[in-house]
Amino acid sequence: MSPEIRLDGPTLRANAAAFASLGAPVAAVVKRDGYGWGARALARELDDVVESYVVADDVELAALRPATGRPIRLLADAPPGMLARILDLGGIPNVSTAGAVAEARVEAARRGPFAVRVGIVDSSLWAAIRAPDAGAFAASLAGAGLAVELWTHVTSPARAGTILREFAAARRAFEDAGVPVASVDAASTASAAAPIAFDRLRIGAGLFGARMGCGVAVRCAIRVHAPVVRRLVPGSTSWAGYGDVPLPPHLSAVVLRCGYGDGFPKALAGTADILSVGMQYTARATSDGNDPQVLVGADDDVDTLAARAGISPHEFVIGFACT
Ligand SMILES: *Cc1c(COP(=O)(O)O)cnc(C)c1O
């Protein structure tokens, strides 16, 4: 007996469509092998409703390409010598260093114009440049037959205004340098509904049903069905699983075959109707009208469950897949 853990295709598609209804096409962010669920499996569900995909690097691009004919954008710069292969695979490369720009200029001279992505982010975690460096970076790209797709990442709600103001200034720097700006994208799930100008939305966790305050009407796409292995009738036991979780004498509960070893967060123990969470088994109080075997389903809320477990929606989503 083992839990059945899967994604619901129609819900994934409806979630993508809900973001697209904000007014910009969706680039599905399927890095880290589709947040653990398989980038190709996600593409099979999403290909009709998304504009493009975003992956981390050339390895993820090569793995995803057989599943889709759509553009695939890269977050990281090409490793030295890999740009030609990325372009051959229909990837849209990112550039953030002088070396990457030099290689792009050589490729453009060889094969003609193409677009590169340039990120404007004031945090060092991404392959991006800082806004004050935009003028010099734009000059290094000028005259090479390269267009740019400018992107930023709103890494802090508190600094969103500054980030977007600097992004707009950087865009002007590229235009002033004569580098064609092919498109701009400036959002992840959390900032999707912010009133900012963009040509597409980069959405990852939102596809699975995370809202992260963006106010888009998405639903949980994760389905966890955990078989009942035991029923605990009132009085049949005093303690639920490990530790000192008392089982109130009036309570009916079940033991389900699904635990933290399957991705169900251990920290949910002691919250709501979850009494304890072991590696493979979870004790859950039962109530009338609820199917206790539906551990995560259509009626659940990704943000609420993640908050109850004290983790991010991303960790909740990826946890079930990466076990
Ligand atoms: C991961 C990532 C996203 C997607 O973020 P979600 O919060 O999962 O929607 C968007 N943009 C960049 C640059 C990212 O690294």
pLDDT at position 319: 96
Please work out whether the CB of residue 188 comes within 6 Å of at least one atom of ligand 1.
yes
SS3 of the chain: the string is CCCEEEECHHHHHHHHHHHHCCCCCEEEECHHHHHCCCHHHHHHHHCCCCCEEEECCHHHHHHHHHHCCCCEEEEEECCCCCHHHHHHCCEEEECCCHHHHHHHHHHHHHHCCEEEEEEECCCCCCCCECHHHHHHHHHHHCCCCEEEEEECCCCCHHHHHHHHHHHHHHHHHHHHCCCCEEEEECCCHHHCCCCCCCCEEEECHHHHCCCCCCCCCCCCCEEEECCEEEEECCCCCCECCCCCCECCCCCCEEEEECCHHHCCCHHHCCCCCEEEECCCEEEEECCCCCCCCEEECCCCCHHHHHHHHCCCHHHHHHHHHCC
The span from the CA of 284 to the CA of 287, in Å, is 10
Joined together, the tokens standing for residue 31 give 């890095």
From 202, 303, 318, mutation site for ligand 1 pocket: most ligand atoms within 8 A of C-beta = 202
pLDDT at position 193: 76
pLDDT at position 197: 60
pLDDT at position 323: 66
For each of the chain's 323 residues, which pLDDT tens digit applies? 899 999 999 999 999 999 999 989 999 999 999 999 999 999 999 999 999 999 999 999 999 999 999 999 999 999 999 999 999 999 999 999 999 999 999 999 999 999 999 999 987 677 999 999 999 999 999 999 999 999 998 888 888 889 989 999 999 999 999 999 999 998 889 888 776 668 999 999 999 999 998 889 999 999 999 999 999 877 766 666 666 666 777 788 899 999 999 999 999 999 999 999 999 999 999 988 789 999 999 999 999 999 999 999 999 999 999 76
The span from the CA of 119 to the CA of 68, in Å, is 25
Q: Return the residue whose CA atom lies nearest to atom 4 of ligand 1.
A: 204
Q: Are 52 and 72 in contact (CB under 8 A)?
A: yes
Question: In this structure, what are the phi and psi dihedrals at residue 260, rounded to the nearest 5 degrees?
Answer: -65, -20
User: What's the pTM value of the predicted model, to 2 decimals?
Assistant: 0.94
Nearest-CA neighbor of 154 among 164, 142, 140?
164
Q: Are 100 and 118 in contact (CB under 8 A)?
A: no
pLDDT at position 240: 62
CA distances (Å), origin 241, targets 102, 248, 261, 290: 60, 13, 15, 22
- Cα(206) to ligand 1 centroid in Å equals 10
pLDDT at position 152: 93
The span from the CA of 126 to the CA of 158, in Å, is 19
β-strand partners of 182 = none
Helix 302-309 × helix 313-321 angle, to 10°:
90
pLDDT at position 298: 96
From 42, 75, 198, 208, mutation site for ligand 1 pocket: most ligand atoms within 8 A of C-beta = 75
Please work out whether the CB of residue 153 comes within 6 Å of at least one atom of ligand 1.
yes
The span from the CA of 138 to the CA of 142, in Å, is 6
The span from the CA of 292 to the CA of 273, in Å, is 10
Please work out whether the CB of residue 205 comes within 6 Å of at least one atom of ligand 1.
yes
pLDDT at position 126: 77
Joined together, the tokens standing for residue 18 give 């809900």
- Cα(203) to ligand 1 centroid in Å equals 6
Q: Return the residue whose CA atom lies nearest to atom 15 of ligand 1.
A: 75
The span from the CA of 96 to the CA of 85, in Å, is 18
- Cα(270) to ligand 1 centroid in Å equals 31
Nearest-CA neighbor of 23 among 194, 166, 220?
194
Burial class (CB in 10 A: 0-12, 13-18, 19+), 209: buried
From 46, 54, 117, mutation site for ligand 1 pocket: most ligand atoms within 8 A of C-beta = 54
pLDDT at position 188: 87
- Cα(248) to ligand 1 centroid in Å equals 43
Please work out whether the CB of residue 144 comes within 6 Å of at least one atom of ligand 1.
no
pLDDT at position 177: 97
Closest approach atom of ligand 1 to CA 202: 10
Please work out whether the CB of residue 280 comes within 6 Å of at least one atom of ligand 1.
no
Report the half-sphere exposure of 129 (CA within 13 A, side-chain side). Answer: 24
Question: Position of tokens 């109530």?
Answer: 287
